[in-house]
Structure 1
Amino acid sequence: MSKTTSSIAKARTEVWRSRVYSALRTTLACSIVGCTTLYGPVQLRRYFEFPSFTYATTVLIVSDATFGDTIRGCWHVLCASLHVMILSLLSLQVIGLEHFSYHVGALAMAASAFVVALSESTHLNTKRLAFGMLVNVYVSTVIDGLQVGLFYHPVNVVCSTALGAVAALLATFFPYPRFAYNETRKFYQFYAENTSERLNCNIEVISASDNTTACGFLTQAKFLSTIGARLLQSIRSKLNGIQWERPQTKFFNPTWLDSEEKLQDLEAPIRGMDIVLSSCTSFPVAVVDEELKDVLLNCIKQCTRKLEKQAKCFAPFDAKTASAMKKEILIKNLSIAHKDLPTSFFLYCVHLFLDDSHIAKKTGHVLEKVPKGGNSKWSSRKIREVVMSMIPSSKNLAFAFKSSLSLGLSVLFGLIYNKENAYWAGLMIALCFVNGRHPTFSLANARAQGTAMGSVYGILCCFIFKSSEDFIFLPLLPWIFFCSFLSHSRMYGQAGGVSAVTGALLVIGMRHDGPASEFALARIVEVTIGLICFVVVEILFNPFRAASLAKSEVSESLRMIQDCIDQIAIVTPGEKEMPSTSYRALREGQKKLKSLVCQLEDFTAEAELEPNFWFIPFHSACYSKMIKSLTRTVDLLLFVAYSMENIMQLAQKDNAFWIDFQDRVNDNVGILKNKVAPTLKFLEEITRIESIGELEKELKSRKLPCDIESQEYPNAGAFRILGGDEEINDITDSFMQHLEEITNKSYTNKDDEMLKGQMLFHFSCLGFCTSSLMRETTKIQSEVKELLVWENPSSQTNLKEVYCKINALHSQ
């Protein structure tokens, strides 16, 4: 218990320390900008006429950034500056400063934004910075373009942005450089320790002598799993910064590039153990005797040594040190595989952990050999790929049109309302564009609240320190520090935190001709104008609610599960080897399913944040359970692919032994396909309907025949869903009976006990995953029914009746 709490305390302390340092760096960077723009030499200050965007650039780059991230941010500033100089000077020269009216400025902004956003290879941060710089250039040209000349505003905007990048870079060295390489290694050590403790808790659970002890360790394991997921997220967020700090890593130390895969190889066995423990209903487990407990306790020591070695430099673990332990696990599994599949699969996961198996290996990345005389063909294919990559996709075109319209309208209406403060309408939304969907209303609300809070704080500071303006910048420092933590809150997030700190910075950190309250009020109104334009355009380009997209994503996930199950190849008698294309297709399908589930999580999170308006409230609890079942399905399919690959590899070594029980594999895989696939198809069709009421209206409009007595439509007998636990248990018992036959044969033939033990190991894994897939399908089935009842409270909901109505429509 003490180890667990100390591990969690270490992780929390490190996260707290990194956030404090990040807040201090942000405060220092903003102080550098403030001192330079307010108190610097006059000859220097005349090049920084846009301190507002300097502050925004500084906060955007330095927040939670490692040294590598800051270098990348400076590179984005350089790229954005090149975009802006070319586009703005070309526009100003062609149009002419004397022709820059409100409408012309808005059109120039829209056209330039479209060009910047259209490039698919340009990073999103580069586009954001370029949008903000273009807003400053065009609005300033509309205000006083004839008075200052062609180059004045573009050069000043670039210099102001460069000052923000330099300030962020200098602040990164305080109190010492925060290198992504060191941060990654540090968090990986925490993750390794967390994984070791999760493994320890899982083994304590399966070895527990009573339910109370098991529940206690199970609770610890779940909490450690949550911390582990956060540590994984922290590691992934810093891997990209390593390539900017150490470009040579890409060529001379490619193991860092495969860190994501290595982390998955560690995470997958632990997740498999979690699935096993969730399937156990009572403790102690009958097959776990004292001898097996000793084996598992020795495994903890071996796994801890492996994690300690890998935590240093991602070094591979020496498999020889654990060979005796792996053999002992294999031998022990021979006596329990046919008695208890969950415990056998638990040993399987422990074996994977010790074996350093690449269960999450990549597919589709094998280098193709260029045949002799085929260089011209290969070159033409590469040229075609380059040409196709230059053509923007439909998704990128939509983003370009959205950015162009939003910025053009915000600049236009901002200039119409208040010419002198029209910057803020465009600047507010210039830095908030994202790829894909996001909770529009929630983010707009967070930005509006943050802007109001920061502006009010700035006004109060100006009122309190009006007699000592030389010290007015001092109360801004604690506010910057506070808002850095506010960015990590669930209520405001990064959007609200950045808006809050920027709101105060613009009131206090800039010189104003009039009272600060008038400037703050004008800016709040301009920001509101920009946010309204942003929200309206987002709704026009994304008219579908997140709740509707989440339901559609459920249907797509069910469809993908069917495809994955179809790719589980059945071995026919006499076939010597399994086509490798089947394995690759299953792995690719599993990855696509994982991506769909991640999108479903994003849509669910967005739907929880967005207002329901007049629609049915979003059933977040049901979707959370659905995501949990789908996530387990993703993990199970990964194990299925891995076990099937290894079964066929081992079968080639001992074909005689394989022939004796290949029919069992056919039978059990066939049961999986015959039972699960039709049920998933029915559920997919049911989740695609909008509502039962709309379905019944369409049936009446087509006047389809219906049996008067049973009130059923044709093809009613085609409906088939999974039964309860009894059906799943019957299939599991049949599988265990086959395992017992194989085990008995293994004992009678001692020629190659290890080979047959490995065969049995993978076959028992396949058996557990098969029964677990059926169990998860049953859960998804009940969750779909719950969702159907929620969305149709006034209708009698019966899955069979609903599907028969859908089938009747499709048959016409």
Structure 2
Amino acid sequence: MDIALSSCTSFPIGVIDEELRDVLIHCKGRFSQKLDQQDKCFAPFDATTNLESKKEILNKSISKAYKDLPTSFFLYCVQLLLDNSPVTRKTDHMVEKTKKSGDSKRVFRKIAEVVMNFMPSTHNLVFAFKCALSLGLAVLFGLTYNKENGYWSGLTIAISFDTRRQATFSVANARGQGTAMGSIYGVLCCFIFHKYADLSLLPLLPWLVFYTFLCHSKMYGQSGAISAVIGASLMLGRKHYGPPAQFAITRITEATIGLVCFVIVEILVSPSRAATLAKTALSESLEALQECINKGVVVIPKEKDMPMACTSSQALREGQKKLKSLVYQFEAFIAEAEMEPNFWFLPFHSGCYRKMLESLLRMADLLLFVAYSMEKLSQLSQKDNGGSEVDLQDGMNETMENFKNRVGPTLKCLEEITKMKSLRKLEKELKKRNLPCDIESGEYPNADTFLIGDEEVDIMLGSFFKHLEGIASKTQSNRDEEMLFHYSCLGFCTGNLVSEIIKIENQVREVIMWENPSNQANMKEIYCKISTLRSQ
């Protein structure tokens, strides 16, 4: 409903007359009463009353649905509230199980995957090399500083190695502060309980409780929390290591030596700044969004194609879950990049990435409504259809196919551009391979045919308006009214999806200009260069 209201061009909304406004105000009172009853654990709200309100909204708004899609979508959401119809639901794996049965190729594929898992990948080899080099240097310099306690420098970084890609400076900062906090807490507890040596480990219990909160903090996370716990436990469980304060200073110094070695090796081998990880997460999110639209967005009214419609809806819901998790990961990397020091690197363009995050979150929400409306349209179309209605549905299918054919290549283009490490490296690679790239020759993909503009939204919405008007003119039953409402939901969501993709396209262009101030950020030229390297 918030998305619908934010999409309205002006207020008050002209298509909502006094009669429909009274119905909405009446529904508002019903929602308040319903929520109040649920809050007090009373009996559920009367379903008959909800049905009457739903019919009132349908009757009052059926002639206005195709005239103003944001208003129609707002009323659509009101209906979902009245019906207690959640757009999210548990995924049904029956379709996937049916696919698996009798598919012998899947078994061989799984066996091959298991065998390949035993083979070390390039990522694992690089990770092993980084661990060995970091630990070797840490122990070497730690022993040089203090022969008796030199191994603490290696232990500091060994306890929290992670095969996942992590922001180098953020992890080092979290580990250093965690070690310092744990050591200081241990020194204080040793000072308090120095007369009761047998109870020295008792103060570790509240620190473990604090650790659970520290694990979920944005600043420290898992690695900082582990360092804090181990720092405290080593201080409280120490024996024959001299005075606590002296041991704590030695531990912190050795930890600093280890962390410096860790950062240096990470920078030399594979520097993973949070800004770099945020850009990688962006390209992965765009790829997941492309899969959702290509595989899941389809409207199939014909009865013989119903299994395909169910499969598409299921694929869209599963793809939406994957997209949502990637977007949340993208959000976490943005938060880390905003706190990460820049040093000699280019400052992180937080404003652009925040806008792209907002667009991706909105699209992930809209895809749920697309899946829901597709499922409802498939159910309604199982009934007998007239010839004219089938023609209208075929026209709507054609519009959706045009939407996919236009949006899919655009997302692929943006994905490839965001995967690019830097424009300078791209040009160096072209010169190294002696690959000329003449964008005017016509031999290379034209980015203008992939990238979309605001006129695409107008064309798509115009096509939807035309089909919705045809459906509204032939409306004869409640089923037709429901189909009109679901089609209008589909039109609103797809139109907003295109608008959000255009916003991301503009922000990607701005990020490229930010990273390459001397370049005009010609998306067509950049995509041609990427395509030239890909084709070789």
Q: Tell me if TM exceeds 0.5.
A: yes
Verify the 8 A CA contact 1:438 1:606 in the aligned structure 2.
no
1:28-70 per-residue CA deviation (whole Å, 9 max, x = no partner) reads xxxxxxxxxxxxxxxxxxxxxxxxxxxxxxxxxxxxxxxxxxx
**Paired residue type of 2:317:** R
Q: Which has the larger radius of gyration?
A: 1
Scaled by the length of structure 1, what TM-score is found? Answer: 0.54
CA–CA distance in 2 between the matches of 1:454 and 1:578?
58
Verify the 8 A CA contact 2:395 2:467 in the aligned structure 1.
yes
For residues 5-84 of structure 1, the aligned pairs below 5 Å read none
1:683 corresponds to which residue?
A: 414
For residues 515-530 of structure 1, the aligned pairs below 5 Å read 515-530=243-258
**Paired residue type of 2:399:** N
1:646 corresponds to which residue?
A: 376
CA–CA distance in 2 between the matches of 1:408 and 1:604?
30
1:91-140 per-residue CA deviation (whole Å, 9 max, x = no partner) reads xxxxxxxxxxxxxxxxxxxxxxxxxxxxxxxxxxxxxxxxxxxxxxxxxx
Moved more, 479-488 or 444-453: 479-488
**Paired residue type of 2:352:** C
CA–CA distance in 2 between the matches of 1:538 and 1:808?
31
CA–CA distance in 1 between the matches of 2:276 and 2:174?
24
**5+ long unaligned stretches in structure 2:** none
Which of 77, 81, 90 does residue 353 from structure 1 map onto? 81
Which of 64, 80, 99 does residue 336 from structure 1 map onto? 64
CA–CA distance in 2 between the matches of 1:539 and 1:448?
17
Verify the 8 A CA contact 2:410 2:451 in the aligned structure 1.
yes
Moved more, 525-534 or 578-587: 525-534
Residue 286 of structure 1: how far off its partner (Å):
1.9
- SS of the residue 1:719 aligns to: helix
Verify the 8 A CA contact 1:739 1:764 in the aligned structure 2.
yes
**Paired residue type of 1:680:** L
Which of 518, 524, 527 does residue 794 from structure 1 map onto? 518
1:304-352 per-residue CA deviation (whole Å, 9 max, x = no partner) reads 5665676799x99885563222222322331320221011111212222
Q: Residues 600 and 392 from structure 1, CA distance in 2 versus in 1: closer, same or farther, beyond 3 angstroms?
A: farther
1:511-543 per-residue CA deviation (whole Å, 9 max, x = no partner) reads 666333322222223333443565567668855
2:338 corresponds to which residue?
A: 608
Scaled by the length of structure 2, what TM-score is found? Answer: 0.78
Verify the 8 A CA contact 1:402 1:541 in the aligned structure 2.
no
Which of 290, 307, 312 does residue 582 from structure 1 map onto? 312
CA–CA distance in 2 between the matches of 1:515 and 1:757?
81
Residue 740 of structure 1: how far off its partner (Å):
2.4
Residue 733 of structure 1: how far off its partner (Å):
3.4
**Residue 598, structure 1, aligned to residue 322, structure 2:** no
CA–CA distance in 2 between the matches of 1:438 and 1:399?
14
1:671 corresponds to which residue?
A: 402
1:760 corresponds to which residue?
A: 484
Verify the 8 A CA contact 1:405 1:537 in the aligned structure 2.
no
**Residue 439, structure 1, aligned to residue 167, structure 2:** yes
Q: Residues 525 and 667 from structure 1, CA distance in 2 versus in 1: closer, same or farther, beyond 3 angstroms?
A: same
1:105 corresponds to which residue?
A: none
1:661 corresponds to which residue?
A: 392
1:783 corresponds to which residue?
A: 507
**5+ long unaligned stretches in structure 1:** 1-272
CA–CA distance in 2 between the matches of 1:493 and 1:682?
35
**Paired residue type of 1:632:** R
**Paired residue type of 2:375:** E
Q: Residues 569 and 403 from structure 1, CA distance in 2 versus in 1: closer, same or farther, beyond 3 angstroms?
A: same
Verify the 8 A CA contact 1:719 1:804 in the aligned structure 2.
no
Which of 609, 612, 628 does residue 358 from structure 2 map onto? 628
Moved more, 437-446 or 785-794: 437-446
1:556 corresponds to which residue?
A: 284
Moved more, 332-341 or 524-533: 524-533
Residue 717 of structure 1: how far off its partner (Å):
5.4
1:64 corresponds to which residue?
A: none
Which of 87, 91, 96 does residue 363 from structure 1 map onto? 91
Verify the 8 A CA contact 2:299 2:377 in the aligned structure 1.
no
- SS of the residue 1:548 aligns to: helix
Residue 774 of structure 1: how far off its partner (Å):
1.2
Q: Residues 428 and 669 from structure 1, CA distance in 2 versus in 1: closer, same or farther, beyond 3 angstroms?
A: same
**Residue 278, structure 1, aligned to residue 6, structure 2:** yes
| CA RMSD across the alignment | 4.8
1:704 corresponds to which residue?
A: 436
2:496 corresponds to which residue?
A: 772
Verify the 8 A CA contact 1:446 1:496 in the aligned structure 2.
yes
Residue 280 of structure 1: how far off its partner (Å):
2.4
2:471 corresponds to which residue?
A: 742
Q: Residues 809 and 524 from structure 1, CA distance in 2 versus in 1: closer, same or farther, beyond 3 angstroms?
A: closer
CA–CA distance in 2 between the matches of 1:705 and 1:381?
45
